[in-house]
């Protein structure tokens, strides 16, 4: 039986930091207001010269270094992003070139904030098929490009960044189960309802969100899909060492942990200093805790995401 295991992690955050006080200078808001409602204190913002593939490149190199693999070892690249460099080619192909990798399969997955979970589950299936042995799985976003910076209800929530893992074939289980779900009927709750048509923007190019509806929906489905993934693996809540949820805001994270019955000390939380980085949030959080020595080999992880689409999903894995 072929399994897949996470062999290395990496992450990258743009140097520019935007604190809550920076918003208070130009919007009717305050540090206290933002912290109380979101738990966020700061976020990183990409420079104009930085695209998603640039952030992904830095994170990928660190993940490859941690996994002790080189360019020739990588035979699959999957990038989860909602903010690609171009309409096409894919960000994965651009990343492939920047890393000096040639010939392997490379493609993007667009599931918004659930993107990394979708990408990880997909890479796991490719490796279990026996056709691939070493996958680079990345979440990379520059959400700052799709925000209305005059809308205090959305612009304070998001940040930019990238996280990556190297997933390798193994004789021992790493990823035990994955569950992916979607329901397009809820698309209007969270979207960027715009497009480019003959050189003109149609609709809106900015992120739109009905916050209270997103909160209720997110907590409900994260509880459900987390339990589904555990049941599929023959595990229970007591078998989870770390819950690594999409870092949307602290209130959603706290409510999800309570519904699942997990204590706060088992919840990975980085939203306070990263903001919501969409598809990058889970691998960013994972890498931070790995490099801090908190997540160790043998720890059992429940990774969960929920995002526009609506999409949601979970992966249960041994690190």
Is 150 labeled as catalytic in the residue annotation? no
Distance of alpha carbon 255 from alpha carbon 258, whole angstroms: 5
Strands 300-307 and 242-245: what pairing?
parallel
DSSP secondary structure string for all residues of 9-59 = EEEE--S-EEEHHHHHTTSS--HHHHHHHH---EEE---TT--HHHHHHHH
Nearby residues of 319 by Cβ (< 8 Å), 6 or more positions away: 6, 174, 290, 295, 296, 297, 298, 299, 300, 301
DSSP secondary structure string for all residues of 195-232 = EEETTEEEE--S-EE-HHHHHHHHHHHHHHHHHHHHHH
Choosing from 58, 132, 186, 246, the catalytic residue is 246
Backbone angles phi, psi at 113, to 5 degrees: -70, -15
Choosing from 113, 134, 176, 274, the catalytic residue is 113
For residue 153, what are its two tokens? Answer: 């209800």
Direct distance between the N- and C-terminal alpha carbons of the chain, in angstroms, rounded to an integer = 18
Please compute, for residue 302, the number of CA atoms within 13 A of its CA located in the half-sphere on the CB side. Answer: 27
Is 273 labeled as catalytic in the residue annotation? no
Maximum Cα–Cα distance across the chain:
58
Is 212 labeled as catalytic in the residue annotation? no
Which residue from 164, 83, 74 is spatially nearest to 126, judged by alpha carbons?
Answer: 74
Which residue from 163, 170, 173 is spatially nearest to 286, judged by alpha carbons?
Answer: 163
- Catalytic annotation, residues: 113, 246, 276
């Amino acid at each position: 039986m072929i399994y897949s295991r996470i062999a290395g992690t990496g992450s990258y955050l743009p140097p520019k930091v935007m604190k809550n006080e920076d918003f208070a200078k130009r919007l009717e808001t305050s540090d206290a207001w933002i912290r109380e409602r979101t738990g966020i204190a700061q976020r990183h913002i990409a420079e104009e010269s930085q695209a998603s593939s640039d952030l992904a490149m830095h994170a990928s190199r660190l993940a490859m270094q941690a996994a002790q693999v080189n360019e020739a070892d990588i035979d699959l690249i999957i990038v989860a992003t909602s903010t690609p460099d171009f309409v096409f080619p894919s960000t994965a192909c651009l990343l492939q070139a920047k890393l000096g990798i040639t010939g392997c399969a490379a493609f993007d997955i667009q599931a918004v904030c659930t993107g990394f979970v979708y990408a990880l589950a997909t890479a796991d299936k490719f490796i279990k098929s026996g056709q691939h042995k070493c996958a680079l799985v990345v979440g990379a976003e520059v959400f700052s490009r799709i925000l209305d910076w005059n809308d205090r209800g959305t612009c304070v929530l998001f940040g930019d960044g990238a996280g990556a893992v190297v997933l390798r074939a193994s004789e021992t289980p790493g990823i035990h189960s994955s569950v992916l779900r979607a329901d397009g009927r809820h698309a209007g709750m969270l979207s960027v309802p715009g497009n480019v048509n003959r050189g003109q923007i149609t609709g809106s190019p900015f992120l739109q969100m009905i916050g209270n509806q997103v909160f209720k929906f997110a907590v409900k489905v994260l509880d459900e899909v987390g339990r589904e993934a555990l049941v599929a693996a023959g595990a229970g809540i007591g078998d989870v060492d770390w819950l690594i949820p999409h870092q949307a805001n602290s209130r959603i994270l706290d409510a999800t942990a309570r519904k699942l019955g997990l204590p706060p000390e088992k919840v990975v939380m980085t939203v306070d200093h990263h903001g919501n980085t969409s598809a990058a949030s889970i691998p960013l959080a994972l890498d931070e805790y790995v490099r801090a020595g908190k997540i160790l080999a043998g720890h059992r992880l429940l990774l969960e995401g929920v995002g526009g689409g609506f999409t949601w999903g979970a992966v249960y894995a041994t690190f």
